[in-house]
Amino acid sequence: MKDIKQLIKEGQHSKALSAILRQARMTSDYSTYMSLCRLRRKISSDSTASPKSANLKIAILGGSTTDFLELPLHLELETLGLGCDLFTSGYNSFVPEMLDTNSDTVRFGPDLTVFLINPFNIADWPNSGDSLQAVQSIADRVSDHWLGLCESLHASTNCEIILSNLHTLPTRSTGNLGCRLDWETNNFILRINDLLNHKAPAFVHLLDIAALASLYGVINWFDSRFWYHSRQPVSFNCLVPFVRNLSAIIGALYGRTTKCLALDLDNTLWGGVVGDDGVEALKIGQGDAESESFRDFQAYLLRLKARGMLLAVCSKNEQENALAPFEQLPEMLLKRSDFVSFKANWNPKSDNLKIIANELNIGLDAIVFVDDNPAERELVRQMLPQVKVVELSDDPAEYPLLLDQSGWLEIARLTDEDWKKTDQYHENVQRMEVQARHTDYDSYLKSLNQQALICEINPQNLERIAQLVNKTNQFNLTTKRLNRSEIETLMGRPDVFTACVRLIDQFGDNGLISVMVGHIREKALHIDLWLMSCRVFKRGVEQLLANYLFDHARKMELDMVYGHYIPTQKNKLVKSLYANMGFNLINTDKQGATHWCIEVQDYQPVHVHISLKENLSNE
Amino acid sequence: MNEEIIWNRLTEIFRDVFEDEDIVIGPETVAQDILEWDSLSNIQLLVAIEKAFDGVKFNTGEVANLKNVGQMVDIIIHRSKE
């Protein structure tokens, strides 16, 4: 903290900012965190110290005060590379704010609204002795009231909504007997949570306060003194996990998703140093406290893998030594095949992380680095500030929790694609091996036996489209993010052209990997959105989609097609895409965006090694 | 606990919470004397004090109605376990 103050004194604001952001992610202590928030505010007037990216408009509503959230939410989102404009309405004003189509909140036009409720906002409680049926109908009424407000706000603003569920109360008037009583206060609260969790529509994302309060203990989570004093819904000691969880959801909604865990080996996945101690001496498995804790960390990693997280090894080791435990120790839950990349050598870890990112074709900011060695962690933080580095302790029993609480593993939605992630990357490796056998790229592509299915956006592929639109960075011409409901409005309109590509080859199904959206005005089609997953770069999909687009344009008797390239830090790859396809440059605007057009009759279809099956459904 | 230590530590907390390295506090200092002292920063201040002095906890009445910094110090003297 002293260093940061010194940097600020010296006017080195951008250095101070990086230090603040780094520190913020390492601490979960409230006082330290608030001090960082205040230091951040001190230099906020200096624009050079604010690499502001997408400015989200976020409204915060609640049955509690919400101004305590302002500074920490700003800071926490900034650590995820997100800027925001915050709007907070007064305490307990949420009903008119959400219902009135001309309220301040609606006029603010939020991209996202955070709606915080707590048990004290429940207006209607069961009476002692009420039947299950009576309790259920009150719980329905209460939850429908809140969800109805969400529906209403969504209808007038189209915003995504984060809704908190409820923590239980510390007192139990019926003691342990309460377990059996449906009308008992906390059972009633849990029933409401259950309804919220299950009935919330897709644009409502739940902030699981119930889980957080139970993790920290209701007594610690909620400080009644400050509720009475000024309607604080969460004790300040638990503010950091609160803000971290809230920001994690926002981050995941706007594409700040972690795709890969890069893991150290010695004393991270097993106890001991394989090169020094030998395979037999390693601590992993049953019958010893430390060995069991390493085993359980591996089990936790496998659960992450099962929901789509990629695992990679990044270790300073001889390759042979590093592989030995995987091959020789049956106690190892993780197998070599669970990893999509395996880097064991003596190069700096920052170099290896860059190679891993390259191999998997993901950004460095999509990697979380897990290493027990503080020196390695610090090195990576310094060399690659984009990589997220978990602050591990020296106790393996704490590893799963520390990783879990980092807030970096949040996912906004799960699709069928996610279950198959690791397989798909392994198939990619096989493809690369085949490529190496072919001397020319063309014959390699031919050997892949590629088939594509193209269809419009439809209710079945909506989830996956939303995921692609919000997290694709490299092959993305306009990087225009759309939420689920905005995408929904594109379906079935005669003035909108949508195309989604699914690619299958001899090694497997790559799934839905490319999306194009355009609108038709007069005799021209304007491409508003064009993106493709990095998994299938250089396979001919973009040419295939362009051919398809111009086929359609001809059938619809259009004359012109317009395209736009809006540069970001990550999409240089497609800077010349339109030029390469024969489009003519109209102009380049002040922000560096280029605008292109081509007459439909001038477009020359490109031959690709993909056979096309049009309009088949996705499943 | 030595009263001087308390005043030094307390001054540091005030300076951090109210972002002003020049704040000077005395027994008669009240919320109106410090521009940023509102109900939100009041909580931040009390939480920071509770954390800095082991054993100190303000009760609900004190959270809402502390008269001045002098009263704060009295409470710290009586409750601090150090």
Q: Does B22 touch chain A (CB under 8 A)?
A: no
Instruction: Give the gap in angstroms from C-alpha A38 to the nearest C-alpha of chain B.
Output: 7
**B58 neighbourhood in chain A, CB within 8 Å:** 225
Interface contact flag, A224 B60, Cβ < 8 Å = yes
The full set of domain ranges for chain B reads 3-79
Percent of all residues in chain A with a pLDDT value above 70, rounded to a whole number: 98
Gap between the Cα atoms of B48 and A30, Å rounded: 9
- In DSSP notation, A309-366 reads -EEEEEEES-HHHHHHHHHH-TT-SS-GGGEEEEEEESS-HHHHHHHHHHHHT--GGG
Q: Does A33 touch chain B (CB under 8 A)?
A: no
The β-bridge relationship of strands A388-389 and A310-316 is unpaired
Gap between the Cα atoms of A92 and A166, Å rounded: 16
Gap between the Cα atoms of B17 and B40, Å rounded: 11
For residue A176, which amino acid is it? Answer: N
* Interchain CB contacts (distance < 8 Å): A and B: 42
Question: What CATH topology corresponds to B3-79?
Answer: 1.10.1200
Residue A370: which H helix or E strand, with range? strand A367-370
Instruction: State yes or no: pLDDT of A616 exceeds 70.
Output: no
Round to the nearest angstrom and report the end-to-end CA distance of chain B. Answer: 6
pLDDT tens per residue across span B23-45? 999 999 998 898 888 888 899 99
Q: To the nearest whole number, what is the mean pLDDT of chain B?
A: 90
Q: Which of B40, B48, B63 sits opposite A225 (nearest CB)?
A: B63
What ipTM was reported for this prediction? 0.89
Instruction: State yes or no: pLDDT of A421 exceeds 90.
Output: no
pLDDT tens per residue across span B63-79? 988 889 999 999 999 99
Smallest CA–CA distance from B16 into chain A, residue:
A35
Please give the backbone phi and psi of residue A346, each rounded to the nearest 5 degrees, phi first: -110, 15
For residue A522, which amino acid is it? Answer: E
Instruction: Give the gap in angstroms from C-alpha B28 to the nearest C-alpha of chain A.
Output: 23
Tell me the average pLDDT across A572-596: 93
pLDDT tens per residue across span A496-545? 999 999 999 888 888 899 999 999 999 999 999 999 987 788 889 999 99
Question: What pLDDT was estimated at residue A526?
Answer: 96
Gap between the Cα atoms of A183 and A191, Å rounded: 10
The confidence band for A449, taking pLDDT boundaries of 50, 70 and 90, is: confident
Q: Does B5 touch chain A (CB under 8 A)?
A: no
Q: Which of A34, A41, A42 sits opposite B44 (nearest CB)?
A: A34
Question: What pLDDT was estimated at residue A618?
Answer: 40
Interface contact flag, A228 B64, Cβ < 8 Å = yes
CB A337 within 8 A of CB A426: yes
Q: What is the DSSP secondary structure assignment for residue A398, as one 8-state letter?
A: G
Tell me the average pLDDT across A96-119: 96
Residue A388: which H helix or E strand, with range? strand A388-389
Instruction: Give the gap in angstroms from C-alpha B55 to the nearest C-alpha of chain A.
Output: 16
The confidence band for A340, taking pLDDT boundaries of 50, 70 and 90, is: very high
Tell me the average pLDDT across A14-27: 90
What's the distance, CA A533 to chain centroid?
A: 15
Least Cα distance to A105 among A143, A56, A148, A159 occurs for: A159
Instruction: Give the gap in angstroms from C-alpha B27 to the nearest C-alpha of chain A.
Output: 23
For residue A173, which amino acid is it? Answer: S
Instruction: Give the gap in angstroms from C-alpha A4 to the nearest C-alpha of chain B.
Output: 13
**B48 neighbourhood in chain A, CB within 8 Å:** 31, 34
For A31-45, A46-60, A350-364, A475-489, which range has the lowest pLDDT when averaged over its residues? A46-60
Interface contact flag, A38 B19, Cβ < 8 Å = yes
The confidence band for A53, taking pLDDT boundaries of 50, 70 and 90, is: low
Least Cα distance to A146 among A103, A187, A197 occurs for: A197
Question: What pLDDT was estimated at residue A172?
Answer: 94
Answer with the residue of higher pLDDT: A312 or A26.
Answer: A312
Gap between the Cα atoms of A515 and A513, Å rounded: 7
pTM of the model: 0.79
pLDDT tens per residue across span A302-316? 999 999 999 999 999
Instruction: Give the gap in angstroms from C-alpha A22 to the nearest C-alpha of chain B.
Output: 20
Instruction: Give the gap in angstroms from C-alpha B22 to the nearest C-alpha of chain A.
Output: 14
Nearest 5 degrees, angle CA A152-CA A153-CA A158?
A: 110
Q: Does A88 touch chain B (CB under 8 A)?
A: no
Residue of B12, B40, B41, B75 to mutate, interface with A, max A Cβ within 10 Å: B40
Strand-pairing partners, residue A613, are A453
List of domains in chain A: 1-51 (no CATH), 52-253 (3.40.50.1110), 260-404 (3.40.50.1000), 416-614 (3.40.630.30)
Residues 6+ apart with CB under 8 A from A612: A451, A452, A453, A454, A544, A548
Q: Does B16 touch chain A (CB under 8 A)?
A: yes
Least Cα distance to A596 among A521, A529, A527, A540 occurs for: A527
The confidence band for A48, taking pLDDT boundaries of 50, 70 and 90, is: low
Q: Which of A35, A38, A68 sits opposite B40 (nearest CB)?
A: A68
Interface contact flag, B51 A232, Cβ < 8 Å = no
Interface contact flag, B40 A65, Cβ < 8 Å = yes
Smallest CA–CA distance from B14 into chain A, residue:
A35
Q: To the nearest whole number, what is the mean pLDDT of chain A?
A: 92
Answer with the residue of higher pLDDT: A106 or A26.
Answer: A106
Gap between the Cα atoms of A63 and A58, Å rounded: 17
Read off the tokens for A609: 């090694």
Q: Does A232 touch chain B (CB under 8 A)?
A: yes
Interface contact flag, A31 B19, Cβ < 8 Å = no
Instruction: Give the gap in angstroms from C-alpha B19 to the nearest C-alpha of chain A.
Output: 7
Least Cα distance to A98 among A149, A141, A63, A57 occurs for: A149
Could you give the residue ranges of the DSSP H alpha helices within A109-223?
Answer: 132-157, 185-199, 209-216, 218-221
Burial of A394 (0-12, 13-18, 19+ CB in 10 A): exposed
Interface contact flag, B63 A226, Cβ < 8 Å = yes
Interface contact flag, A229 B51, Cβ < 8 Å = no
Instruction: State yes or no: pLDDT of A109 exceeds 90.
Output: yes
Q: Which of B16, B17, B40 sits opposite A67 (nearest CB)?
A: B40
Gap between the Cα atoms of A11 and B72, Å rounded: 36
Question: What pLDDT was estimated at residue A47?
Answer: 66
pLDDT tens per residue across span A452-467? 999 999 998 998 999 8
Residue A524: which H helix or E strand, with range? strand A524-532
The confidence band for A412, taking pLDDT boundaries of 50, 70 and 90, is: confident
Q: Does B44 touch chain A (CB under 8 A)?
A: yes
Gap between the Cα atoms of A91 and A233, Å rounded: 11
Q: Which residues of B31-61 are buried (b: 16+ CB within 10 A; e: fewer)?
A: beebeebebbbbbbbbbbbbebbeebebeee
Round to the nearest angstrom and report the end-to-end CA distance of chain A. Answer: 54
Instruction: State yes or no: pLDDT of A474 exceeds 90.
Output: no
Interface contact flag, A229 B63, Cβ < 8 Å = yes
Gap between the Cα atoms of A104 and A93, Å rounded: 11
